[in-house]
Chains A and B, each alone.
Chain A
Amino acid sequence: MRIGIDAGRALHGFGGVATYTRQLVNGLARHAPRHEIVIFDLDRGIHRREAFERVLGVLPSSVQSAKVSSFELAGVDVFHAPGFVMPPPGAPHSVFTLHDLTVLSHPDCHTLDNRVRTMVSIAEALTRGATLIGVSRATRAEAVRLLSLSGETVEVVPPILDPRFTPGGNDELDGAALERLGIDGPFCLAVGSLEPRKNLARLLDAWQMLPEELRDDHLLVVVASAGWLRGGLRGRLRDLEREGSVHMLTRVAGLDLAALYRRARLVVFPSLAEGFGLPVAEAMACGAPVVTSDLSSMPEVAAGAAVLVDPEDADAIANGVRRVLEQTELRRDLREHGPELAQRFSAEAVVPRLLEVYQRAVQRSNV
């Protein structure tokens, strides 16, 4: 099979969609060697193998890149659109990843521009008969609820996790990474962009509710990319950073992020809604105890290996964090089970399911 993928988002973005796309290409390149992969940049239309290689790593010969203008010549059997951008008309049957439907369920958490762009591309995918991939059962349920789709029209295939997220890191390298990132001593970790849906403001409220001795003993490290509709969040984070209770980091990825997950006393992710919740899975893969929301896709991803809290209640978040920090046995239990459960999101587990979806899409287009 010749599989076309729009890898443009991996080049231009830094959030969940970019990570999803990078791991999609890497996972297929490593675990589907019998198939050919052709990568495109639909955003810019140009061919830049070097740029792809810089971001995606060394690409095997089964991966080629092509210009969008030579789309039809590339002769792909199926096209995967992982970044909310449909390929130009004339493309073969498309597979469209539905990352979430929070533009509909939580419109206040998105800019109008973002909502228009997302809804127009979802409508385009549906009118052109694309095969839909939902990244979790929760996302599929949202598609059924909000778009009146029948459940069987959405295939559930989770994202592939970066294989560097493992519990057994190199102590020396992890220590060096933490030193480079300016972290010294025990810390709790929050990962996500600065946007209302990630609920960072309430997490800061919760952090300030913790008993003083816990706050004195632990730093809250926040890894956050820019985001939108930030309100006064950035200023508040700066104030807390000056006080010494919060340490802000931006654009941490790969081995450095894995080191943070491995060394964190816990990872807290009280998002209001997710399509999947990558930080939950990444933290579990690295053996970090997780405190996350009891709604949306997060219980499904955590599969019992996390402490679940009501994300709308700062008290509940604080209690969850406190429980994990104070109960050594609970922490040990979460550290033990996380990596095993995160195997569901390894390339070995996900790629065969993706190939099945692609195969069915090709069969559909031949009917």
Chain B
Amino acid sequence: MSVGWLLLVLVAAVGLAAVFARKILRRLRRVRRLENSEASVAKAVADGRLPRATGEALLQHLEGLRRECSEEKGS
């Protein structure tokens, strides 16, 4: 195999790894944002700044999204 081909394969592998890493990072960032948001909602309910019913509804939606993000395949 020529050096040119080897370089091409290397560049393709690096490119694929970068795309994959970017997707994982994006997923982690989303999960972290959702976790932070859940913590703020729970604190606001505990402090009495947010009605319990609204807090529970928000937590349910945020948790659902977080589960979806964690289970998400390849994106």
Chain A residue numbers with a CB within 8 Å of B56 are 148
> What is the interface of chain A mostly: helix, strand, loop, or mixed?
helix
A145 to chain B: closest CB distance in Å? 10
Q: Identify which of A104, A124, A126 contacts B54 (C-beta below 8 A).
A: A126
Max chain A CB contacts within 10 Å: which of B40, B41, B56, B61?
Answer: B61
Q: Quick one: given A126-B50, A129-B49, are A120 and B57 in contact (CB under 8 Å)? A: no
Option from B41, B43, B69 in Cβ contact (under 8 Å) with A112: B69
For B44, list chain A residues within 8 Å (CB).
Answer: 126-127
A-B contact pairs, 18 of them (CB 8 A): A104-B61, A112-B65, A112-B68, A112-B72, A113-B26, A116-B30, A116-B34, A120-B37, A120-B62, A122-B58, A123-B40, A126-B41, A126-B44, A126-B50, A129-B49, A148-B53, A148-B57, A150-B51
| B40-A119 in contact (CB<8A) | no
> A129–B40 Cα gap in the complex (Å)?
12
A228 to chain B minimum Cβ distance, whole angstroms, is 13
**Interface SS majority for chain B:** helix
- Among residues 236 to 272 in chain A, which have CB atoms less than 8 Å away from a CB atom of chain B? none
Q: Please, how many angstroms separate the alpha-carbon atoms of A115 and B30 in the complex?
A: 10
Contact B68 A124 (CB under 8 A): no
The answer to whether B58 touches A123 (Cβ under 8 A) is: yes
| A149 within 8 A of partner (CB) | yes
Chain A residues contacting B57 (CB-CB under 8 Å) are 146-148
A64 → B minimal CB distance (Å): 32
Distance (whole angstroms) from the CB of B44 to the closest CB of chain A: 4
Of all A-B residue pairs in the complex, the 4 with the closest CB atoms, nearest first, are A148-B53, A127-B44, A148-B57, A120-B37
Task: Determine whether B33 belongs to the interface, using a CB cutoff of 8 Å to chain A.
Answer: yes
* B41 and A123 form a contact (CB under 8 A): yes
CB-CB contacts below 8 Å: B8-48 with A: 26, 30, 33-34, 37, 40-41, 43-44
